[in-house]
Structure 1
Amino acid sequence: MTTRSANSSTAPIKRPRTIQIDSNGRLRHFIAIEGLSKSILTEILDTAESFVSVTAQNVKKVPLLRGRTICNLFFEPSTRTRTTFELAAKRLSADVLNINISASSSSKGETLLDMLRNLEAMHTDMFVVRHSSSGAAQFIASKVAPHISVINAGDGSHEHPTQAMLDMFTIRQHKPDFSSLRVAIVGDLMHSRVARSQIHALNTLGVGELRVVAPRTLIPVGMERLGVQIYQNLEQGIRDVDVIIMLRLQNERMHGAFIPSEQEYFQLYGLTEKRIALAKPDVLVMHPGPINRGVEMDSAVADGEHSVILQQVSNGIAVRMAAMSMTMRSRADAEGEA
């Protein structure tokens, strides 16, 4: 395998906690898991739990965000994440704007700040931001008007906080005691924003043991400082674990030969039914999607008895409803005090 050199882009991006938390200790923006307390993460999970039953109702709506306008600003494509954010907003009775960035005025030379100011003038209350550059959501949150909240729907190789929280929610549904769990995250750690958010979330929630498994070329420099045990052998890394989280190879972010081929990657790191037998008998198999079948895992595993992948997708709506309602509640409190 090709040896990579240290790259400054892999260095941790520090996010000031104050921009996410208001003066009352409530969630103001949701930019990153890093820096948030266990009580905030638990509140997100508990709030999501209260929304799960909404999907079973004949009218799948609650009026919490009636009269509010939420704008999806997706600077890179993502069908699953954008769709679940849109559904979450509509189930909270909000109005939703989906901005097609490639066809918007930004492609005609308008600056990002000019775009934000124009959207603010339309009385937008929240921006859900997905961007290929790490730190984009943080930048937008620092520039928006005081009455607007920002939720990070994935920024570069930095974080994807709502994905991590829906993963935590799914785990908690099956295995509520995080302190007793042994979890393995397998795959492209170098380029995965999901993995970083998952690591911060699992450690904050007090997971018993956290492992990461990947070829040396896909392990960022300094990852051991995140409180994980690093494995380069898949069989060793998933032995006796309670949860296996598989990651997609982020080919669109790779600039160089990080693996010899997808076929060889599957031979060494693909999850098969034979390999699952090394884990606990009731192991959960997870994947943030989209799955590359035959690269990260067999179809038999993706569709098998241990898989909770579709449950993750369903849980994404409730968790994103929770994030939206909590950040907007912070604003409502501020308006009430004013």
Structure 2
Amino acid sequence: MKHFISMQQLSGETINRILKEAESVRKSPITINKQLFAANLFFEPSTRTKMSFEVAQRKLGLEVLDLHKEGSSLIKGESLYDTAKTFEAIGADFLIVRHPSDYWMDEMEEEGHLNIPVINAGSGKEEHPTQCMLDLLTMYQEFGNVEGKKVVIAGDIKHSRVAKSNAHALEKLGADVYFSAAPGFEDQSLHYPYITMDEAVEIADVLMLLRIQHERHIYKTEMYDYLSLYGLTMERAAKMQKHAIIMHPAPINRGVEIDTKLVESKQSRIFKQMENGVYVRMAILTHVLKEWGIINENEINKRKALNII
């Protein structure tokens, strides 16, 4: 694997191997016995992704190089590729990149060649593979696997990179994927069936809610009745199957796509997803670094196993 950019590049076997490693890391933390520099290049706002990458890096014992866009040469017109090459030149061992362009990796490869691995922390409306992996880990912890499970992704499908990454991966792993969306929020380029939210709550093993991606809309969307018409209300949640779980990649717009009382309800796994983000990103980092030959098994120190259920 050259770079960690898209869920579509990963086989089911690779996905399962990384998930198994993430669960192992959760129970028995690891560190890398080698000085390595991680460069975090975030060109969009981020809380969970950026901070969990940084926690993952520090838990692994890595040095963190954090780009601040406002104080960098980007404001002078430097390209993403030249910024990436700069970090490579000064000694970064890998790059974590989030960028508003849908295809920023393709644009970088058109400009030149990078000799260090790149991990996609979010590309426009198209992909968010590390979020998908932490979502999958959360589902695997709940059900053992996702084969045959009905997963409904509900919300602003058209503008969601999370929806796309999850739908492709879940289908590959044998899940039955459905979408639910308000009119205008559908993505007709994707072949998954659409159902109403009332139908979704009755069939879903996993109900994954998405916020309205206002920052990606050409025109501002006003949805005053969104919760009652298309969101997860208390009344709808009462019709969910007892074993079903509620997920959300966050940030959450409480009272819009989900009733605020449901965010930390018994069926919610929203904050468990965030916790899993650290373990998954630790596993992805070590996986990529081993694939590139930057580290080997002898440079990974495993600590004593923890009693985590």
Describe the SS at the equivalent of 2:184: helix
Alignment of 1:1-338 (within 5 A): 21=1, 28-54=2-28, 62-64=30-32, 66-140=34-108, 143-146=112-115, 148-207=116-175, 209-224=176-191, 228-231=192-195, 233-256=196-219, 259=221, 261-332=222-293
CA distance in 2 between partners of 1:322 and 1:140 (Å): 25
CA distance in 1 between partners of 2:59 and 2:86 (Å): 26
CA RMSD after TM alignment: 1.9
CA distance in 1 between partners of 2:244 and 2:140 (Å): 13
CA distance in 1 between partners of 2:71 and 2:168 (Å): 35
Relative to 1, partners in 2 of residues 1:157 and 1:135: Cα closer, same or farther, differing over 3 Å?
A: same
Relative to 1, partners in 2 of residues 1:274 and 1:310: Cα closer, same or farther, differing over 3 Å?
A: same
CA distance in 2 between partners of 1:334 and 1:84 (Å): 21
- Whether contact under 8 Å (1:192, 1:250) holds in the other structure is yes
Relative to 1, partners in 2 of residues 1:252 and 1:210: Cα closer, same or farther, differing over 3 Å?
A: same
| 1:212-231, Cα deviation, whole Å (9 max, x unpaired) | 0002300012222xxx2212
CA distance in 1 between partners of 2:131 and 2:198 (Å): 26
* 1:114 positional shift: 2.6
- Whether contact under 8 Å (1:29, 1:141) holds in the other structure is no
How many correspondences in the alignment? 296
* 1:144 positional shift: 4.2
CA distance in 2 between partners of 1:177 and 1:112 (Å): 38
* 1:240 positional shift: 2.3
- Whether contact under 8 Å (2:139, 2:145) holds in the other structure is no
- Whether contact under 8 Å (1:85, 1:320) holds in the other structure is yes
Describe the SS at the equivalent of 1:151: strand
Gaps (5+ residues) in structure 2?
298-309
Query: Aligned partner of 2:284: which letter?
Result: A
* 1:177 positional shift: 3.1
CA distance in 2 between partners of 1:297 and 1:334 (Å): 43
CA distance in 2 between partners of 1:317 and 1:100 (Å): 22
| 1:151-173, Cα deviation, whole Å (9 max, x unpaired) | 00001000000001100000100
CA distance in 2 between partners of 1:218 and 1:29 (Å): 31
Q: TM-score, normalised by structure 1?
A: 0.83
CA distance in 2 between partners of 1:86 and 1:108 (Å): 27
Higher mean displacement: 272-281 or 308-317? 272-281
CA distance in 1 between partners of 2:125 and 2:188 (Å): 14
* 1:270 positional shift: 1.5
Q: Which 4+ stretches in 1 moved above 4 angstroms?
A: 333-336
Describe the SS at the equivalent of 2:136: helix
Query: Aligned partner of 1:238: which letter?
Result: V
- Whether contact under 8 Å (2:289, 2:295) holds in the other structure is no
CA distance in 2 between partners of 1:326 and 1:144 (Å): 21
Higher mean displacement: 264-273 or 247-256? 264-273
Query: Aligned partner of 1:306: which letter?
Result: Q
Relative to 1, partners in 2 of residues 1:114 and 1:35: Cα closer, same or farther, differing over 3 Å?
A: closer
2:304 aligned residue: none
CA distance in 2 between partners of 1:335 and 1:120 (Å): 21
CA distance in 1 between partners of 2:49 and 2:162 (Å): 12
Query: Aligned partner of 2:100: which letter?
Result: S
Describe the SS at the equivalent of 2:122: strand
* 1:238 positional shift: 2.7
Relative to 1, partners in 2 of residues 1:107 and 1:266: Cα closer, same or farther, differing over 3 Å?
A: same
CA distance in 1 between partners of 2:72 and 2:100 (Å): 17
Describe the SS at the equivalent of 1:255: coil
2:303 aligned residue: none
Higher mean displacement: 162-171 or 32-41? 32-41
* 1:272 positional shift: 1.6
